[in-house]
Amino acid sequence: MSSGSPTGRERYGVDAPMVPVAFAAAAVVALALAPFVGLAWPWLIIAAASAVQLGLYLHATLRGKFRIWERLLDEAQLTGDERILDLGCGRGALTIAAARRVPRGSVDGVDLWRSVDQSGNVEEATRANAVAAGVSDRVSLHTGDVGDLSFDDHTFDLVISSLVIHNIHDAAHRASVISEGLRVLKPGGRFVIADIDHVKEYAEGLRAAGATEVQVTGLGLGGWFGNPWFRMTSVRARSATS
């Protein structure tokens, strides 16, 4: 097991839980209709496609995103004493993976704890996960909007965010997440986002705000939340040094 893997004692829930429920319901309904309504084969195709999407979704939310963030955190080459901010930490999948890698540092997680975005999404669940993982001494949780951060300028070495910003429907609000993330980064600090939508917009916002080394990278089949239209892509950048 690498330094950031879940121990098996934590419980991270399922992202956007109504989506896999909808895939499962579509599969069951199509199977039920196949013998009775018109030709069977179109219903069987719908059932099979829904079942495949369900399998891909569950893999991405329960395994794939964890492996993806192991890679992204490996690439960040942490030394162990960084101060890290997780934007939209939810139940702490990423907060805790990061905290394991900074034994002399700390991780702050900010969230509004929306259960529509993650099952069982309450601050107490995140705190319990940090305790179970043995990192609660260096994890701090904050209730707040990721587009309006309460931290001082130039506080963090690394800002990370997983599957969060696409949930914000207003483009100006999404842009404020990018500008706030850059504001709280130290000069030359790193910003790493993985999301399933709007990633080009984030990259353009980072470049327009003066960030350097902006890279957009596909993250593979393990990050497909059901189908290729909702696949995880990373955006990495470095804040300006002056």
Ligand X SMILES: C[S@@+](CC[C@H](N)C(=O)[O-])C[C@H]1O[C@@H](n2cnc3c(N)ncnc32)[C@H](O)[C@@H]1O
Considering only 47, 158, 168, 196, the residue that binds ligand X (CB under 6 A) is: 168
Considering only 167, 233, 234, 239, the residue that binds ligand X (CB under 6 A) is: 167
Q: Which is nearer to ligand X, 146 or 206 (CB)?
A: 146
State the number of CA atoms in the 13 A half-sphere of 136 facing the CB.
13
The answer to the question of residue 162 lying near ligand X (CB under 6 A) is yes
Q: Report the SS3 class of residue 85.
A: strand
The answer to the question of residue 160 lying near ligand X (CB under 6 A) is no
Contacts (CB under 6 A) with ligand X, residues 63-92: 65, 88-90
Q: Least distance in Å: CB of 145 to ligand X? A: 4
Q: Least distance in Å: CB of 85 to ligand X? A: 12
Helix (H) or strand (E) holding 217: strand 212-218
Q: Which is nearer to ligand X, 78 or 146 (CB)?
A: 146
CA distances from 162 to 73, 85, 88 (A): 12, 12, 7
Q: Least distance in Å: CB of 15 to ligand X? A: 4
Q: Which is nearer to ligand X, 7 or 212 (CB)?
A: 7
Q: Which two tokens stand for residue 176?
A: 């404020």
- From the list 43-51, 104-112, 180-188, 216-224, the region that binds ligand X by CB under 6 A is 104-112
Strand order in the sheet with 156-162: 139-143, 106-111, 83-87, 156-162, 185-195, 233-238, 212-218
Q: What is the rounded distance in angstroms from the CA atom of residue 160 to the CA atom of residue 4?
A: 14
Q: Least distance in Å: CB of 61 to ligand X? A: 8
List beta partners, residue 84.
107, 158
Q: Which is nearer to ligand X, 54 or 194 (CB)?
A: 194
Site string for ligand X, 120-159 (x = CB under 6 A): -x-----------------------xxx------------
Considering only 10, 82, 117, 157, the residue that binds ligand X (CB under 6 A) is: 117
Exposure string of 11-24, with b = 16+ CB inside 10 Å and e = fewer, is ebbbbbbebbebbb
Q: Which two tokens stand for residue 89?
A: 């930490």
- From the list 1-9, 110-118, 184-192, 229-237, the region that binds ligand X by CB under 6 A is 110-118
List beta partners, residue 217.
234
Q: For the residues of 138-153, what is the DSSP string, one character each?
A: GEEEEES-TTS--SPT
